[in-house]
Structure 1
Amino acid sequence: MFPERFSNLPAYAFPRLRALLDHHQPGGEVVHMTIGEPKHAFPAWVTDVIAANAEGFNKYPPNDGAPDLLDAISGWLKRRYDVDFETDRLMALNGTREGLYNAAMALCPETKNGKQPVVLMPNPFYQVYAVATISVGAKPVFVNATDESAFLPDYAALDTETLDRTAIAYICSPANPQGAVASRAYWRDLIALAEKHDFRIFADECYSEIYRSTPPVGALEVAAEMGVDPERVLVFHSLSKRSNLPGLRSGFVAGGSECLRRIRQLRAYSGAPLPLPLQMAAAKVWADEDHVVMNRRLYGEKFDIADAVFEGVHGYHSPEAGFFLWLPVKDGEEAALKLWQETGVRVLPGAYLSRDTDSGNPGKNYIRVALVAPKNEVQSALSTLRDCLYG
């Protein structure tokens, strides 16, 4: 017998994409613009650090993170957000997906005000939010993040009964896939809402270092300014996007000391800490900003290209941050299939990142396009896409 609660899960986005496209021949040279897997160079010295610490492969790695790594993360939080975090309020992660899932496992109560707890999440959303919710026996509530709400979920518009049952609210800023950034006012309102209805905020900020001009405001800095309970807000960061190191699997969670104690306790039984040589490399990467500035410049150039290519396209929004385009189309699946069959450019239908709601699927009329390839390839592919879908 299989758990009934998992029977309603939709197929993951990329198997759905393969089912849609792969029995059709591409109409040209294949260009992959589906997966947010960075292709810019990571710092060349990373492999040297790993090699210099290779004897660490002969040891079980520290479950919570090596002191060097935690110190580097604490230093980065201070430089980036001007917040002071002792290492008892930090834990290294084997990628943020692990943390986003296990934090729900460790912190979501079995009931909230005597009822099944609710977990809020933006729609579209990172799929682990929903799976974590279902795993803990909570009810996922998908809040559409649309053009009308500046592509961020308006949790305050929910009814009081739902908010009083809410245990956790996931929020991604900068948003995947729309690139919207939560303002200081947005964070203040959300934190105040969490205080009023007694729920925790899980802030997924893994795209925070890829932005056009102004560094995105972080949940931790606003929470510190407001003087709220440190257990109220947890944030999740990663080196995958910031430093082009998705294969290093290095991220972290920061929050209140009691929340971190509970997450560590679960991690001791079920987690897989990062090998020590990789932790030493990650410590040096968190301490270096030069490569991040270069990385951001490269993405900025590609966003400038996108703005030029899609100038005049009705409904086009130039993203504030991240590295995706969220392009309006009549139907995402039809557009992705047409583009594949006629040009070989491969994109993701927006509906594959969203769930149907009473007010519709907010991703149905969009495609997501990842700008991770080299600049010349991006320029050619975007021009091809425009000619095919908007010409």
Structure 2
Amino acid sequence: MQFESYPFEKLSALLDPIEPNSAYAPLTLTIGEPQFETPAFIRNALCGSADTLRRYPKTAGEEMLNGAMRDFVARRFGVTLKQDQLVSCFGTREVLFNFPQYLLFDKPDPVMTFTNPFYQIYEGAAIASRAKVNYLNLDAANGFKPQVDPAVLQSSDLVILNFPNNPTSSCLSLEELGEWVKLALEYDFVLLNDECYSEIYPNEAPAGILEASAAVGNTAFKNVLALNSISKRSSAPGLRSGFIAGDAAILEGYRQYRTYIGCASPLPLQTAAAAAWADEAHVAEARSVYRENFEIATEILGTAVPEATFYLWLEVDDAIAFTEKLYRDYNLKVLPGEYLARTDINGNNPGKGRIRIALVERPERTRMALERIKEAMNG
């Protein structure tokens, strides 16, 4: 198997030969990792359960954690899940890589379709699954929303959506997600929505695929799965806590498959994660910081406040050259959009001419970074 270099590896190769301007303190807005303290009650739950390290954890997860996740889904999306409709996992990256391998194993000529730009693990899963890939390009012309091609959907075994979207910050409405559920049933493909940014929003909470499925009458979630994570929600990526939920028939086999992988979450991590999934106050507090960051961006760069996520998908003339300039002249790192996308069969790369800026710092550092970007754009 041959995998593409990760975007951050490409960025390092681009910037390593450059000497940054030491007159500026270094700032990094590349990775989607919240730069805030993990809330104290989560850290206390972790430390207070250290004695459980003496026990083997269940691959399927403890009920204290699984129950907290189901309660979160009910509280947030108005959907009541049965025990067999959710599988907790060791972060969602694990699922995004190994679930397609499980699902597509018996397909002689598997086909995956996913949004472009994308989280690179989708591509890695396609390579590991021997799957042909179709891209759903997201660009300004289509409002950063995937356009339906019946021929593509007819041939697809697995379609991965990512809304709220990384990196474009686009969202799909409940009705739009419901149309995708109908398409999954009509063309008989498995539809997975990666919802890891569902809790980072400035105003109205974005819709989820499970509530959309229920809204169009697919209350058993046939062919429909949602993925979510605690990493962004609770500023706790190190907990590696996520879940996949929906179609119980699909999850039954996947649950058994995971027992062979050996990626059970340690019990102290499960205890801390359960506390985090059960609490909403700390999430609201984090959202207020992200909202302030976007308001600063509007003030300095004139950008609109997105519906969700903590990213700016900023248009520039030449993303590679601008990334080099920001690092060389202002000691600031951002990520070129083409590193997050692929060129399609028509020669289009929807990430070209864009940079992704992760507004994951405190407001004072965010302001400092955005002022440098504005100066670079005006220079």
**TM-score normalized by structure 2?**
0.96
CA positional deviation for 1:255: 1.5
Partner residue, 1:196: 186
AA in 2 matched with 1:325: L
Tell me the equivalent position of 1:99: 95
Query: Partners of 1:184 and 1:261 in 2: how far apart?
Result: 27
Measured in 1, the distance between the counterparts of 2:326 and 2:247 equals 47
Is 1:180 paired with 2:170?
yes
State the alpha-carbon separation in 1 of the partners of residues 378 and 140 from structure 2: 20
Q: Does 1:81 align with 2:77?
A: yes
Segments of structure 1 that go 5 or more residues without pairing to the other structure are: none
The answer to whether the 8 Å contact 1:339/1:389 transfers is no
Number of equivalenced pairs? 375
1:22-49 Cα offsets, whole Å, 9 max, x none, are: 1111123210110111112222022221
CA distance in 1, matches of 2:82, 2:349: 42
- 2:332 counterpart (341, 345, 348): 345
Q: Distance in 1 between matches of 2:58 and 2:84?
A: 14
CA shift for structure 1 position 218 = 0.5
Moved more, 262-271 or 326-335: 262-271
The answer for the alignment partner of 2:122 in structure 1 is 129
Q: Which whole-Å CA distance do the structure 1 matches of 2:145 and 2:106 have between them? A: 28
1:322 aligns with 2:318: no
SS at match of 2:254: helix
Aligned residue type for 2:79: V
In 2, Cα distance between equivalents of 1:50 and 1:366: 40
CA distance in 1 between partners of 2:106 and 2:215 (Å): 31
Q: State how far apart, in whole Å, the 2-side matches of 1:291 and 1:159 are.
A: 43
**Does residue 388 of the first structure (1) align with residue 376 of the second (2)?**
yes
CA distance in 2, matches of 1:47, 1:164: 47
From 370, 375, 388, give the equivalent of 2:358: 370
Task: Summarize deviations over 1:164-213 as a string: whole Å, max 9, x none.
Answer: 21011111111000111111121022111111111011110000001011
2:141 to 130, 133, 148: 148
Q: Could you tell me which of 66, 70, 78 is aligned with 1:70?
A: 66
Shift of 1:390: 3.5
Residue 16 of structure 2 is matched in structure 1 by 22
Identity of counterpart residues, as a percentage? 38
**Could you tell me how far apart the structure 1 residues matched to 2:73 and 2:255 are?**
20
- Gap regions ≥5 residues in structure 2: none
The answer on whether the counterparts of 1:109 and 1:167 sit within 8 Å (CA) in structure 2 is: no
CA–CA separation in structure 1 for the residues paired with 2:207 and 2:356 = 24
Q: CA deviation at 1:51?
A: 2.2
Letter in 2 for 1:148: A
For the residues of structure 2 that align with 1:15 and 1:254, how far apart are their CA atoms? 32
Q: CA deviation at 1:223?
A: 0.3
